A and B are shown apart, each in its own frame.
Chain A
Amino acid sequence: MIPFEFEYFRPETAEDAVRLYHELAQSGLEPVYYGGGSELLTMARAGNRRFGAVIDVKAIPECAAVEEEGDKVYFGSAATLGAIERSGLFPLLGRTGARIADHTMQLRITLGGNIAGTIRYREAVLPLLLADASMEIYTPDGAQSVSIHQVFSGRLDLPPGALLVGCRVAKEFARARHGHVKKTKSEKIDYPVATVCALDADGYLRFAVSGVHENPFRDLTLEEIFNDTRTVPRLRADKIVEMVRPGAVSDVLGSAEYRLFTFKRALMEIFAMEREGAMV
């Protein structure tokens, strides 16, 4: 049971959603966009989040869509992790999403909800960072397309009331050879101690990380080290770990030092996949 009242709206266009948001905000009602709802409802119940209105975006076609568009693939912000995996359109995103939560939850958790949520892991963003996704946003000024790197550096940073409508990814990245390694504390379905996603962009391995730092990241300097064929993989991994060390988190899932050990193992496993041709 949610300990406060709120209103519920279900618009059918992005324009209506955004306009409604601003109207409600103006009248002091504190609106939020509502996708799968799992994070909003659990935080509301626990008294960690309060809002005056939810704007359910699942009925907006562009928000729910999962489809191919010529040489690109498109995922709506209200597409569920389950739907994305089932589509097979971006296998790395499907695999990463499939390890975020259990099967039943995956039928509710949305791409937008995971990326824009407060829970720090946001694992679904990793493949999008690797694929240089373009983010479709809707504001009172209309629809815009921006590179993910402009609006996401650890967290999604959009102007208040802007609606993330969806993400577009070039097929060359969506279909690229990839690897995904997730290490948890003990149980399979859990927050990550370290998750590493990797993508082969024309022989160059891109990688992005969740769990090790406070927020997920993709760092081009670290990628250069990752691909530096002048040194053996183990030394490349050591160097990356040293550079990542300052921000490593210590919490109930693991100490910082253990996190870094696990992160290094994940990197080595990606190298091994590459070497053994196991990246598909």
Chain B
Amino acid sequence: MGGAFGGKAGVDLEILAVLASRAVGGRPVRIANMREEDIASSPCGAGAEVYVRLGADGSGKFRALEMRVLLDTGAYADMGPRIARAILADCTGPYNIEHVFCECVTVYTNHTYATSLRGFGHVTSTFCIERTVDKMAASLRRDPAALRAMNLVRPGDVAPTNFTITESMLGNPGACLEAVKKLIKWDDGCVRQEGKLVYAKGLAVFWKTSSSPPDAGSSAVVIFNDDGSVTLQVGCVEIGPAMRTTAAQICAAALGMDVQNVHVSMPVSTAAAPRHWKTVASMTTFLLGRAILSAVADAKEQLGRLAALSMRCAPEDLEVHGGRVFRKSDPAQFVEIKSICRGFKFQNGNTVGGRVIGRGSVTMQNLTTLDRFTGHGRAGPYWTVGAQAVEVLYDTSDHSFRILKAATVLDAGKVMNPEAAHAVVRGGMGMGLSQATREGMEFDPSGRPLDTSLRTYKVMHFSQTPEYLTQFVETPNAEGPFGARGIAEHGALGMGAALANALSKAAGVQLDELPVTPEKIWLKRSEKPL
């Protein structure tokens, strides 16, 4: 139970539990960290120091990008090198930049070790690129939204790791940017002073593909029960984003059934359940969804063969929908699934076939490792793109600020479950804003973590939250289930960037470090020459 946000992608305490269990002859062993132990010694999100240099021509077209990333993976490599690779694969952000140099080095330090954390490096890279784009806009005296719009990547452009992008892979970043501008009322102005208070808005655009192993996959089993309902067995663990509901919806939609009649089996047995890669990377709907569709197709094929015996026709003349197998040319000819899902019984009692059990397995396709030297290759199957905006109220007298509004428009391909989708995007935004303003592991000079309890490591609380505005654009992902793209992480990706863009404008200083705090703003302002 409990969320993960990537923290359960690797093994941490499990190793200790196995060792401890072996030491006592295989008896069950329970390891529980106190919160302080968890914060200090279980893995955290990777920190980074990044150098970015962006070149544009006079018209504002981005021409060249140089990016050097030092990723702090702490004491152990764990996911660090993979995060570095993920940053590299998407380093430009959703922009078309012809000349790209990007180097990501994972560095061992004596800090708490790092693992995947929502965004898998993309919060870092989005922050760095988007701060740079805002600086470029100021330098060129262009509206930050217009500068972004003219440089957004389009179908036919070449990805940073050197392959051609299609609309199916990409979605529509331009539509997201236009929509988020409306949500935040960008055209009404993005800075306004009222006495000692300043209202300011900041933008960010993002994209993310997963950087999974090329053979990451999922599987599902669809079993028909006697009453015609379906038991759906999956290996994916539910940790909050309602993936079990989505799984049931996909299965039900593919069968034309009421979702109430699809029973997703619980709990997941690691010994017996059909394997799923991991509940990470916003790839569950994609991988598991495809596996379910594959299992449903397999089940339909079996149902078709059984029904064909009854209906005396070729299986390809039949369709499965709404609890029935019916003749395409004459839907009035049908058999109920529940009458054949254990096999077909002839009039004299002879039975052929057997329980209909549909199985589906899928894997990531066409992925490669990235060339060590050129970085060329293909890291992920498609992108999810989006645009975000934040409006802040900044107090020039003490540098404190209040986040008023936060907006996200992302291209979901196909929204599977609207309530869940808005909620998980908002959840990501909340996490992104909390991280950008309050969170971060700080260490003393000898490497000891300073904040090890929730008393001093603060997260955002209820009363401090902004108004959240979320919206979806739907450009189908041809290989996603019903056209869907993953959306679980993405709310977090550009929040820090949009916030820092807004506050940099409001405070008149360059805020290039997260978290942003009143003290850091004060320090920057104190350093400004008078």
Contact = CB atoms under 8 A, between A and B. Distances in A.
Interface in B442-465: 442, 450-451, 456, 458-461, 463-464
A252 interface: yes
Interface string A177-192: 0000001011111110
Given A186-B518, A187-B458, A258-B523, A252 B463 contact: no
A185 B400 CA distance: 9
Given A188-B464, A261-B522, A252 B398 contact: no
A196 to B, nearest CB: 13
A150 interface: no
In this complex, which of A45, A187, A188, A189 has the most chain B Cβ atoms within 10 angstroms of its Cβ? A187
A255 B519 contact: yes
Contact of B36 (A46, A185, A190): A46
Nearest to A272: B397
A185 B397 contact: no
Taking residues whose C-beta sits less than 8 angstroms from the other chain, chain B's interface range is: 20 to 34
A267 B340 CA distance: 82
Contacts of A252: 442, 450-451, 456
A262 interface: yes
A265 B398 CA distance: 7
Contact of A187 (B34, B438, B442): B438
Nearest to A186: B438
A237 B515 CA distance: 30
A61 interface: no
A262 B398 contact: yes
A48 B130 CA distance: 45
A233 interface: no
B231 interface: no
A253 B437 CA distance: 13
Taking residues whose C-beta sits less than 8 angstroms from the other chain, chain A's interface range is: 20 to 34
A258 B522 contact: yes
A140 interface: no
A185 B464 contact: no
A37 interface: no
Contacts of B438: 185-187
Interface of A is mostly: loop
A52 interface: no
A261 B459 CA distance: 25
B397 A186 contact: no
A88 B26 CA distance: 61
B468 to A, nearest CB: 18
B451 A186 contact: no
Contact of A254 (B397, B442, B459, B519): B519
Given A252-B450, A252-B456, A258-B523, A186 B517 contact: yes
A188 B398 CA distance: 15
A186 B399 CA distance: 11
Nearest to A1: B34
Contact of A189 (B397, B451, B461): B461
Contacts of B442: 252
Nearest to A255: B519
A262 B521 CA distance: 13
A256 B459 CA distance: 24
Nearest to B459: A187
Interface in B397-445: 397-398, 400, 437-438, 442
Contacts of A46: 36
Interface string A32-69: 00000000000001100000000000000000000000
Given A252-B450, A265-B398, A187 B464 contact: yes
B398 to A, nearest CB: 5
A267 to B, nearest CB: 12
Interface string A62-102: 00000000000000000000000000000000000000001
Given A185-B519, A252-B450, A265 B464 contact: no
A234 to B, nearest CB: 12
A268 B398 CA distance: 11
Nearest to B450: A252
A121 to B, nearest CB: 12
A24 B47 CA distance: 52
A102 to B, nearest CB: 8
Contacts of A268: 397
11 contacts: A183-B398, A183-B400, A185-B438, A185-B519, A186-B515, A187-B459, A187-B464, A189-B461, A258-B522, A258-B523, A262-B398
Interface of A: 45-46, 102, 183, 185-191, 252-255, 258, 261-262, 265, 268
Among all A-B residue pairs, the 4 with the closest Cβ atoms: A187-B458, A265-B398, A258-B519, A186-B438
Given A186-B517, A258-B523, 15 more contacts: A45-B34, A183-B398, A185-B438, A186-B437, A187-B438, A187-B460, A187-B464, A188-B461, A188-B463, A188-B464, A189-B461, A252-B456, A254-B519, A255-B519, A268-B397
